[in-house]
Structure 1
Amino acid sequence: MSPLHALSEWLFSAHMLQHELLMLVAAPLLVIGRPLAMWLWAFPAVARMRIGAATRSRWIKRPWRFLSLPIVAWTLHAAALWCWHAPRFFETALARPGIHTLQHTSFLGSALLFWWTVFGRASEGHGAANAHAMLSLFTTMVHTGALGALLTLAPGVWYPSCMETTRALGFDPLQDQQLGGLVMWVPGGLAYLIGGLVVGARWLMRRAPPRVGVGMPREG
């Protein structure tokens, strides 16, 4: 519905920006906001109880416990990024709307799992969860930056189907690809860095000893 969506059908760089907004803006905001808890109140009380009981069943808890493991979420997110940006799969997604929808769904779904391990599990305050979150953010920043660098520094166009539409708007296809790579490389890497700083600051503040103030007894 947005102008960006329409422009993404013509420019590769706009398409890459759309992907980054899905994974680096929409996904973490959904994890932090936890809208499912609010949406649940739209149902009658009986329905809420049944839905709550269903989410506590082993058929849901066991798969969720596995998918929300940091290494599993990290791997799924990395696989979605690298596989869908491979020229063969990216071109197929552009040519077929159903596969294109699947591509965006996998980006958002894997990003939700990834950011849950960062802001969901880490919010429990456990040191291991915060350490895993920071490690996931750092390694993801490295490998997504590498993918962005490959797109930026590539000597030729990776996705030939984008060339015709890009030229129709008066842009050079290779420069458009380089701009798309920079979107993933620089702003994308910065988003993971900011996430790491937020997790690290929250972790340090929770580990810091309480200050002695008015009304607080001094030890000894």
Structure 2
Amino acid sequence: MNLLYWLEPWEPSPTVVVCVLVAAVLFARGAPKARTTLRRQLSFWFGLVALYLALHTRLDYYFEHEFFMHRAQHLVLHHLGPFFIAWSYPGAALRAGIPFSWRQRFMRPALQTKPVRIVLDVLFQPVVAVVLFVGLIYFWLLSPIHFKAMLDWRLYRVMNWSMVIDGLMFWWLVLDPRPAPPARLAPGRRIMMVVAAIPPQIVLGALIFFTPRELYPIYSICGRAFTWISPIRDQQIGGLLLWIPGSMMSVFGALIALRHWMRLSGRERLRQERMRDDGRNKDAGVAPQRPLHAG
């Protein structure tokens, strides 16, 4: 089996192909115009490729036939892929990739409509964002819901796309490097958001790991990809993936948000010191000094 075999989709989805291609084209067009750094470009492409591999390759067979592989898929869809895309701060590049006339005619009027603004304000409210981020994990891991989602291909795709969209919204809020405004949240609230999402993930992962009975029999019914792994061991590995790597991604997010907070706080202190110095110079009748590099 060569690489092309693994890249072949287990269940072809035009939606995945179109969405990934549109995002790739817009970012490739807009990155030079927005002067996106190499680090940010690599972060975006890594996240986008990770989402594609988790949604549209032969690996999807294993995601559907082994619980711990399913948890690995959702770790990529809800955490890893959206995290790296949001970390690249792609908003300016994606906007620049859209033709200016389209932005003026379609995007701006659509975003300024009252229903759209209300929906965005609700979804990006910190408490709602945290509840959705954690709640979707719990919802799709409820045994009856999970059973149906793994049997119905339409519900299965809704489950996967809900994780991707929610992950992008959550990490976009947390990893926004700008001050508020224009960012929706102040840096301190971003840290509180991501910290609040850690304990529920640990609790759920531990519950799955320590439960002595099989919670998700759908994998035994449909046939397991790895017959040498017992159902309980498969469940324990899946619980650990939610417990440790999932929580660690949130810790990394909190550290990046803390770094942004320190950077913005330092910038604000410098601005206030300059304003105080200019005020003293003005009171003393001294003209403010221009920087040496000023032309």
TM-score (norm 2): 0.65
Where does 1:47-196 land on structure 2 (aligned, <5 Å)? Answer: 47-50=102-105, 51-120=107-176, 123-124=178-179, 129-164=186-221, 165-166=223-224, 169-196=227-254
Task: Give the equivalent residue in structure 1 for 2:25.
Answer: none
RMSD over aligned Cα atoms: 2.7
Greater relative contact order (CA < 8 Å, ≥ 6 in sequence): 1
Q: For the residues of structure 2 that align with 1:30 and 1:58, how far apart are their CA atoms?
A: 28
Find the residue that maps to 1:123 and give its secondary structure.
Answer: coil
The one-letter amino acid of 1:133's match is: R
Whether the aligned pair in 1 keeps the contact of 2:79 and 2:246 (CA below 8 Å) is: yes
In structure 2, runs of 5+ residues without a counterpart are: 1-55, 271-276, 282-295
State which drifts further: 102-111 or 160-169. 160-169
2:64 corresponds to which letter in structure 1?
Answer: E
* C-alpha distance 205-94 of structure 1, shift in aligned 2 (>3 A): same
Give me the whole-angstrom Cα distance separating, in 1, the residues matched to 2:247 and 2:240.
Answer: 10
Partners of 1:182 and 1:3 in 2: CA distance = 24
Measure how far apart 1:115 and its partner are: 1.5
The percent identity for this pair of structures is 22
Distance of aligned partners of 1:124 and 1:205 in 2 relative to their CA distance in 1, 3 Å threshold: closer
Point out where structure 1 has 5 or more consecutive residues left out of the alignment: 211-216
What amino acid maps onto 2:67 in structure 1? F
Is 1:202 the equivalent of 2:260? yes
The amino acid of 2:232's aligned partner reads L
Cα displacement string for residues 37-90 of structure 1 (whole angstroms, at most 9, x for unaligned residues)? 544455543222112232122232221122111111111222211111000100
Aligned to 1:29: 84
> Quick check: 1:69–1:117 contact (8 Å CA) kept in 2?
no
Deviation at 1:113, TM superposition (A): 2.2
Q: Report the CA distance shift for 1:115/1:168 in structure 2 as closer, same or farther (over 3 A).
A: closer
Kept in 2, the 8 Å contact 1:12–1:176? The answer is yes
Moved over 6 A (4+): none
**What is the CA-CA distance between 1:36 and the residue it aligns to?**
5.8
